[in-house]
Amino acid sequence: MKLTLHPDAAKNYNEKAESLIRDLVPDPYANRPRPQNIEPGIFAEELPRRAIIDLQVPDSYMDGFGKEIGKYFNDGSGNVGLFDDGYRNLVRLAESMQNNRVLRDAVSSELLKDLIFNWIKANHSQPSQSSMTEFVLAECENQINEFELWIPVSNLLLFGSEVTVGRVTFKTVTKNMLDAYLGDMAEMSSEARIGSKRIRSELQGYAAAAMNVIAEPRRAYEIVYEEAEKALSLLRFYSPVNFDPTRVCYVSILGEQHMDSFHRLQIQNGKIMNYSTGLVDWSSPYWQLDQSYIDDLKRSGLNVLSDLLMKRDRTDFQQKLLDALLQYSKNCLSRDASDKLVNILVALESVILKDENEPLGKNIGERMAALIGSTVDERKRILSNIAKTYSLRSSFVHHGKRISVDELQTLKDFMMNAWRSLGSLIDLHYKNPTLTKDQFFADLEERRLSY
């Protein structure tokens, strides 16, 4: 894959790289003892210089939290490198290059940072014939390849079916795939068998987000991970969990499913008499999608959302809608009802308020009523529910009061109204693919005035 930067952009990047050579300084940590401990609760930016060198890897210094804070090399007389402002300028240059449309979808900022520093190392004492961008682009081209990458998903069962959302296709990790990868159990050591069983328990029979991408390896995984998260968020819009404030969806990228467990010790006379552990939520964590279920989801609008996610030239309304849906999806991952409420309201406010200066409850209620209320009585019920809902929000945000059992029905009604409202926006986008934000609010105002 050939990478070519605009001459003006290349000139700008090269000048900044040359200035980084002048930022090289002797290693300020070379003769300092490494600290025994980092005091808990202190952020990296607040650490004194003596406490920064907690973890060291070749050519890099890391702070106590594993974040790189300097790069160095030996020039024959000692270690020199980029630290403090010099290192931050290196990071800024790498991020600026990565944001260039030529490199954005092919190269990670981490790789660019490493390659720029390699060029600095090679040129600090005797400049070569190649500029920084020539060197870096050539190295990037050598690493760019086409990859098929799968990101495992927790608790999603497809029963041999596949479903595509945006650039991602959810597929099943099969026994045959794992057999070929893990090998014959009979020939393994006992330790290897334990590891193999753990891998099978996590992967076998479950879905994974699959995607083909052309990039260098680190950027390829970044892209697939980002696309998988977006696709899962849109898929979760159709989860039954969205209608019940007491339930949690555990379908997420593997490792992020947050299945809380409890651990208890019973003590008598200073001795442990009993140790018990288990899951906090005993409801089934699985979401099972067979082909008929997937077909229903497509007819209900999943295909529309998939196309929206693929779309590159979105209108301002389409972008607002997509952002709102991605925010909304966080509600079904939350265990606490108050957290669900806040996530849903943030999603709604972001798409059906004109700006942050509009009054919240009144406009949200009237616009939701205009979107989904088919009769006067239904619109009145929606307005009443929104008033109660914002009272719950105010009690939580301003006074820390959690939603009680007696208030769950209000939240349950609101969750249904919110889901229907977002569904109506998806339908509006489908019927008018060029709909803009101004057109949407004009149409909404006509609906409100036609009560």
pLDDT in tens, 283-304: 889 999 999 999 999 999 999 9
Q: Decide if pLDDT at 71 tops 90.
A: yes
- Choose among 169, 427, 429, 419: nearest CA to 314: 429
Provide the number of structural domains found in the chain: 3
Considering only CA atoms, give the Rg of the chain: 27
Claim to verify: residue 385 and residue 367 sit in the same structural domain: yes
Claim to verify: residue 13 and residue 36 sit in the same structural domain: yes
Domain end among 108, 127, 143: 143
Residue 339: Cβ within 10 Å count: 16
Query: Is 216 within the bounds of a domain?
Result: yes
Q: Which residues pair with 83 in a beta bridge?
A: 70
Claim to verify: residue 131 and residue 226 sit in the same structural domain: no
Claim to verify: residue 431 and residue 372 sit in the same structural domain: yes
Q: Decide if pLDDT at 1 tops 90.
A: no
Claim to verify: residue 121 and residue 247 sit in the same structural domain: no
Which distant-in-sequence residues (6+ apart) come within 8 Å of 364 by Cβ? 345, 348, 349, 352, 353, 386, 390
Q: Containing domain of residue 396, as a range?
A: 311-449
- Choose among 89, 29, 39: nearest CA to 62: 29
Claim to verify: residue 205 and residue 87 sit in the same structural domain: no
> d(Cα 218, Cα 225) in Å, to the nearest integer?
11
The answer to whether residues 383 and 417 touch, using CB atoms and an 8 Å cutoff, is no
Claim to verify: residue 377 and residue 347 sit in the same structural domain: yes
Claim to verify: residue 16 and residue 55 sit in the same structural domain: yes
Phi, psi angle pair for 194, to nearest 5°: -65, -45
- Choose among 297, 325, 170, 295: nearest CA to 233: 325
Query: Is 284 within the bounds of a domain?
Result: no
Phi, psi angle pair for 251, to nearest 5°: -90, 105
The answer to whether residues 323 and 310 touch, using CB atoms and an 8 Å cutoff, is no
Q: Which residues pair with 157 in a beta bridge?
A: 288
What are 192-236's pLDDT values in tens digits?
888 888 999 999 999 999 999 999 999 999 999 999 999 999 999
Decide: pTM greater than 0.95. no
Rounded to 10 deg, the angle between the 337-352 and 360-372 helix axes is 80
For the chain, what's the residue count? 451
What is the token pair recorded at 105?
């979808």
Q: Residue written as tokens 């700006």?
A: 355
What are 357-379's pLDDT values in tens digits?
787 878 899 999 999 999 999 99
Query: Is 236 within the bounds of a domain?
Result: yes
